[in-house]
């Protein structure tokens, strides 16, 4: 997609599976890389947002405070084989945990996402603060990380957004994770509903990475997870399920 089409929820328009790629060059590079299948799911969620300085809030939160996300605790507990929760959901904790596997099946973030369209490299995932770091995992930092995983899931608001660059699509968190080692990224186009998101994510992993047997491809699993959420009367409206898109390889 090009221009405004990058923000179109194609999954709400077509009955087929839909995957988006930033450019032909990026797609070719992703296909040419040789990878072994990853194992285990590293999941991070329910960060502790207490204590962020006013300066940090002005820079990253644009003056807003971030509400706790207690529902993400269950999401992480049910999805992850390695879990970083609460005060452990830090940048340092993530960097250390990433080294526990040669390659992960998925790295899953259930937290707040904050997008900076003017300065896309300052788009960030809000984690817990620690003595070692400020808790702001920016796209610029992710670009310089090694995140060996089959899939990155950004279970947060507006993580598919960024700066629209002609010929290259959206520059922001999604592109940063691809550079860091994820050939496919699931992310969101708008502010998402907590409960519906949890249901969608749990169904996705149940289909894509079942505890027994082989799962179905990520694109098909996402489509079926969206259909599952849509089948619930209270979540029929596309607001609850259509925000989620898959960039990269199907």
Burial class (CB in 10 A: 0-12, 13-18, 19+), 140: middle
pLDDT tens digit string along 60-112?
A: 555 567 788 888 999 999 999 999 999 999 999 999 999 999 999 999 999 99
Distances (CA, A) of 28 to 35, 42, 158, 162, 248: 14, 27, 26, 22, 10
Q: What is the DSSP string of the chain?
A: --GGGGG--GGGT-SS---B-S-HHHHHHHHH---PPP-SEEEEEEE--TT--HHHIIIIITTPPPPP-THHHHHHHHH-SEEEEETT-BHHHHHHHHTTSSSBSEEEEESEEE--SSSGGG-EEE-B--SS--SEEEHHHHHTS---BS-EEEESTTTT-EEEETTTEEEEHHHHHHHHT-SEEEEESS---HHHHHHHHHHHHHHHS-SSS----HHHHHHHHHHHHHTSGGG-SGGGTTTEEEEE--
- pLDDT at residue 213 in the model: 83
Neighbouring-strand partners of residue 211: none
- What is the model's pLDDT at position 51? 65
Per-residue pLDDT of 198-218, as tens digits, reads 999 999 999 999 988 889 999
pLDDT of residue 159: 95
- As given in the structure block, the two tokens for residue 31 are 């296909």
How far is the CA of 67 from the CAs of 40, 48, 78, 115, in angstroms? 29, 10, 22, 16
Residue ranges, the chain, pLDDT below 70: 51-64
Closest CA to 128 of 56, 28, 200, 74: 56
pLDDT for the residue 53: 62
196, 227 in Cβ contact below 8 A?
no
Distance CA 222, CA 246 (A): 8
What is the pLDDT, as a whole number, of residue 206? Answer: 97
> How far is the C-alpha of 156 from the C-alpha of 147, rounded, in Å?
18
pTM assigned to the model: 0.93
Q: Pairing state of beta strands 106-110 and 112-114?
A: unpaired
């Amino acid at each position: 997609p090009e221009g405004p089409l990058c923000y179109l929820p194609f999954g709400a328009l077509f009955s087929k599976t839909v995957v988006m790629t930033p450019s032909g060059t990026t797609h070719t590079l992703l296909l040419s890389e040789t990878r072994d299948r990853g194992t285990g799911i590293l999941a991070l969620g329910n960060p502790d947002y207490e204590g962020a300085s006013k300066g940090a809030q002005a820079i990253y939160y644009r003056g807003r405070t971030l509400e706790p996300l207690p529902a993400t605790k269950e999401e992480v507990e049910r999805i992850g084989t390695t879990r970083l929760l609460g005060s452990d959901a830090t940048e340092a904790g993530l960097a250390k945990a990433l080294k526990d596997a040669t390659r992960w099946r998925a790295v899953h973030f259930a937290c707040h996402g904050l997008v900076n369209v003017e300065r896309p490299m300052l788009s960030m995932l809000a984690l817990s603060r620690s003595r070692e770091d400020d808790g702001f995992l920016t796209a610029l930092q992710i670009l310089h990380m090694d995140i060996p995983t089959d899939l990155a899931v950004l279970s947060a608001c507006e993580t598919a957004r960024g700066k629209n660059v002609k010929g290259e699509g959206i520059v922001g968190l999604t592109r940063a994770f691809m550079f860091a080692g994820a050939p496919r990224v699931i992310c969101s186009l708008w502010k998402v509903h907590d409960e519906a998101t949890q249901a969608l994510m749990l169904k996705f992993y149940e289909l894509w990475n079942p505890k027994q047997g082989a799962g179905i491809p990520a694109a098909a699993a996402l489509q079926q997870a969206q259909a599952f959420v849509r089948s619930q009367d209270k979540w029929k409206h596309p607001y609850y399920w259509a925000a989620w898109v898959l960039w990269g390889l199907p």
